[in-house]
Structure 1
């Protein structure tokens, strides 16, 4: 039993905490067929690694000590000090000789370690600092694996931060209920008169709605900063993928600005997501924007 007396953390493996989610269950395209076949293998290895680490951090019954021990094993496997974690080992081997650093993967693990010990967010800067570890490394990895210029990192960072915060807003009630984890900044909650306990209600209070709308608007600003990102990417397929993500993110911001994530659907249905993504990707491939 997880966390039972006498059960040493080393006896667990990351696969023991797997959620069963796959890349088709994610809000945004992951390793889609738009990408060049040559990059799909490392992209999927990175996704499987990130999913395994996320499942560890989000497991509702494992203790913080057990989670941190498993994440430490993933760090060690990335570094070559161990071969114990299958997802980290596959990523290390998959990136060997490519010139793509493992720093992005280590940063993700640091974000998940933070999740295990810091369930609250102080302010906007603290939220963006979390995104620097939890989201921005994903975009940077994608650019590196495609051989794109690192001058694109600021636009990628803005998009990835927006995607991460959108996900936090969509799941704010679930994160509080399952993990007592709150990404809505404390200072913004206080400024609008919202309480953590508002997340426990079946519908959002006016104060909590004001916080969600304020954060959705900040996501819009981040997306504005990333508006030229797709067109600046040399790889047209990756550019199309980014164009799709931008379009999906814009529409989700619209939903979050008008709907209550505690009581209403603020996720795309698969058919809707496919329509938005395909239109945006096709527009980029035809028009370059």
Structure 2
């Protein structure tokens, strides 16, 4: 297989999946899209190994281990005969990507197999450190942004986005046996993860927990706004849109009356209303830092 074919294979995977991942975004520089697609194809397949089908947990872990072996080879072995790793290895070398962040993603996928509830927020943040933050760090590396403050702000945004996804998907995750609300938060309202998984809860008790979860997530998202002035224009536009979308989603989740049964989402019309504030924050990022969210 030729390298160009390998990249086309990855781009095809990216275009055929809808995800909160900047694979096919027209905001990305055209020369960076193949590398992002290679990262996505790597993560997509690993995610499927962890979640899809009816394989046992032991089998899933072995498959993820085999996937990591290919990752270890691809950095230095240009003869590797696998389209995802042929493209990914080229992207890592060409853009000097931190390959440890790809290994971090695999840590999170293994956690998906073995852990289905979290005792504390620190444990949940450890998961986000490996499941979400690597994506932001890889995007920064692709754009040549490497300051420690930029990485810190990116981590805050990525962790917030992962948490938003958790609070948005309570009605999806709980029936699948996964509770991401930390046990310590639940205990403050007299609840526990088994209550959540069994559906044996009162909304009156759950509401303070969700309020705390949404506020904690909002604080993280706002902490990341300082990243905007550090980014090149195209990436800044994309991250500004991500931040505004995250804010709007937090508001939508807060208004859901049956969080165990309903899933909040943003319509195309709601996204369109964000165009002007996103453009303002992209053109005047310093003001975006000072301005309180609407």
The TM-score bracket by the shorter chain reads: 0.7 to 0.9
Task: Note the C-alpha offset of 1:257.
Answer: 2.0
Superposed CA RMSD in Å reads 2.5
| Structure 1 residues 23 and 194: CA distance shift in structure 2, 3 A | farther
Partners of 1:193 and 1:21 in 2: how far apart? 43
Match of 1:26 in 2: 19
Task: Note the C-alpha offset of 1:207.
Answer: 1.7
Match of 2:56 in 1: 63
CA contact (8 A) 1:172 1:261 kept: yes
Match of 1:132 in 2: 129
Q: Does 1:97 align with 2:94?
A: yes
Q: Does 1:229 align with 2:227?
A: yes
Match of 2:216 in 1: 218
| Structure 1 residues 80 and 249: CA distance shift in structure 2, 3 A | same
Q: Secondary structure at the match of 2:32?
A: helix
Match of 1:243 in 2: 240
| Structure 1 residues 84 and 188: CA distance shift in structure 2, 3 A | farther
Match of 1:10 in 2: none
Partners of 1:174 and 1:279 in 2: how far apart? 32
Task: Note the C-alpha offset of 1:56.
Answer: 1.7
The TM-score, its normalising length taken from structure 2, stands at: 0.82
Q: Does 1:170 align with 2:168?
A: yes
Task: Note the C-alpha offset of 1:114.
Answer: 1.1
Which ranges in structure 2 are unaligned for 5 or more consecutive residues?
1-12, 289-294
| Structure 1 residues 85 and 54: CA distance shift in structure 2, 3 A | farther
Partners of 2:238 and 2:87 in 1: how far apart? 24
| Structure 1 residues 52 and 280: CA distance shift in structure 2, 3 A | farther
Task: Note the C-alpha offset of 1:163.
Answer: 0.2
